[in-house]
Structure 1
């Protein structure tokens, strides 16, 4: 009886070996093919060189040094407000095609900023008989996508004393150009504000003494399709009628004049490259 059991176990073992051999033959080719498909992917991931990524919004400038600033976040923009001069240091916003959809009418109701004490908040009375326009930094035309954005664009912390001809002329032409560029680029990061040269400044307003800027700047950044580009503009606060190219500067030059570090969230090599650009042809309307 022992011999029969042993013989039976041996025959079962032979059957198991035959089954395993058949399975190995059947599965060998799919397994090999799967491994072959995986290997190039693994190799590519190891050898592929990473490129610097732009993470988050590169919109806001770096904190200012030795300059009074109060950061105020609004629906359509962010401003760095200077209580000493009663005007913004800068105003920054993102402009997208969605924000160009006109859902709201222009209000034309200029308001003292509710986040400032009443004794410090500039009003329209400070502009009366000054000969200066209440010039928007973030334009009302960029804020017609939401009623609150439109309302807040008329806060006086978004306003500077601006030459009438400049406000209604060349400055407005750049605002219009930015909207056209937005439709092409998909999104723009824009920062603008006043320039105060090292001199005695004119002021307006009996109550608040609002400083009149000697000039204005605007810097614009596009990061479309991983090919970032930037450009800067400087306008003297004077009457004039000139083509846009007359105002072009690099962002580096605007930084040198204003002391503001724009787009610090960009990778260093990208920031260095785009801030040296000043080619208006890169921003053609075609």
Structure 2
């Protein structure tokens, strides 16, 4: 009887071991197959032509993956990837010291993001600007533009009056802001990528009116005045520089209260709880004819600012914005390659 039980036990053990080995082999094979399949799909996605941002055949934002919309330009962007991403690339000493050349490609994203991405969360690419969207606050983390004297020129055929504030259908409905959020709030729908920077093409200026490019801004005394003055200043820089790169975004800065403690507090508006930033920033890099780089950095409070206050009052070290925003600006440029910051010569 014992010999019989021992024999059965040995057979059962062999069967169990065989099943375990088969199951492990199946799991490894499945994982390997999924990895190879994912790589192949990603590779095929790069090689396949995609439709433009506005896809008339799609009514449902959740179906965007089936209509071939392409907001994030897949793997080609990793040639310009930011150090803010977890992807690391070892550079040679010559690469570390070099200023990235103007991309020879016609890919607009590569041109705009020549000096790196501040971050890589929920990135959307449009015809003439790139945006990273904060789904929690319903406001962009940052918006990036590349401006030249030619690109900011006005076109008589372009009519801003034709533009309409529109929800960004590339975003899930849960995370969008909409016009009703702003209605009666007392705040303007303030542009991050300024409409005035994109007057060469009707489609380009239309896209700046997507609500993902908006943030609640105090109207008179800020959006229509001091902030507008800063936007005009950036456009004027295209007369001084052959290339101007500008990153714009919101800040939610801490403030010490009466109890002596420091808090981060900000208002939200509408049913979507759109965050009202306490401040806004612009960080600008200009490239001269001689390929030298100069930087300007600004932080403005989202409040009424006294008329005729010079914008230089709002210049700050770019590092202070990086710490506050959790972003890294122009990180493909070594700071010792920048000749001036806020008009001051940088000593090597």
TM category, shorter: 0.7 to 0.9
2:171 to 101, 116, 119: 116
- Flag the 1:210–1:60 CA change in 2: closer, same or farther, 3 A: farther
8 Å CA contact retained: 2:189, 2:217 = yes
User: What residue is the counterpart of 1:238 in the other structure?
Assistant: 303
8 Å CA contact retained: 1:221, 1:231 = yes
Structure 1: stretches of 5+ with no match in the other structure: 1-48
Q: What TM-score does the superposition give when structure 2 sets the normalisation length? A: 0.61
* RMSD between aligned residues: 2.3
Question: Which structure's relative contact order is higher, taking Cα pairs within 8 Å and 6+ residues apart?
Answer: 1
Matches of 2:115 and 2:213, distance apart in 1 = 17
Q: Secondary structure at the match of 1:102?
A: coil
User: What residue is the counterpart of 2:268 in the other structure?
Assistant: 203
User: What residue is the counterpart of 1:191 in the other structure?
Assistant: 247
Matches of 1:191 and 1:135, distance apart in 2 = 15
User: What residue is the counterpart of 2:99 in the other structure?
Assistant: 53
8 Å CA contact retained: 2:100, 2:115 = no
User: What residue is the counterpart of 1:151 in the other structure?
Assistant: 206
Q: Which has the larger radius of gyration?
A: 1
User: What residue is the counterpart of 1:90 in the other structure?
Assistant: 142
Shift of 1:114: 1.6
- Flag the 1:251–1:80 CA change in 2: closer, same or farther, 3 A: same
Structure 2: stretches of 5+ with no match in the other structure: 1-93, 104-112, 255-263
Tell whether 2:128 aligns with 1:76: yes
CA offsets 1:170-194 (integer angstroms, 9 cap, x no match): 1100111111111221220000110
Matches of 1:156 and 1:52, distance apart in 2 = 37
8 Å CA contact retained: 1:160, 1:212 = yes
Tell whether 2:331 aligns with 1:279: no
CA offsets 1:244-279 (integer angstroms, 9 cap, x no match): 111111212221222210001214632xx45x8222
Q: Secondary structure at the match of 1:218?
A: strand
Shift of 1:91: 0.3
CA offsets 1:124-144 (integer angstroms, 9 cap, x no match): 111011000000000111111
- Which deviates more from structure 2 when the two are superposed, residues 80-89 or residues 104-113? 104-113
- Flag the 1:132–1:59 CA change in 2: closer, same or farther, 3 A: farther
- Which deviates more from structure 2 when the two are superposed, residues 158-167 or residues 253-262? 253-262
The total of aligned residue pairs comes to: 226
Q: What TM-score does the superposition give when structure 1 sets the normalisation length? A: 0.73
8 Å CA contact retained: 2:252, 2:265 = no
8 Å CA contact retained: 2:135, 2:176 = no
- Flag the 1:201–1:259 CA change in 2: closer, same or farther, 3 A: same
- Flag the 1:143–1:59 CA change in 2: closer, same or farther, 3 A: farther
2:190 to 135, 153, 157: 135
Matches of 1:153 and 1:59, distance apart in 2 = 22
CA offsets 1:212-236 (integer angstroms, 9 cap, x no match): 0000000000121221110100000
Tell whether 2:259 aligns with 1:213: no
1:264 to 298, 308, 331: 331
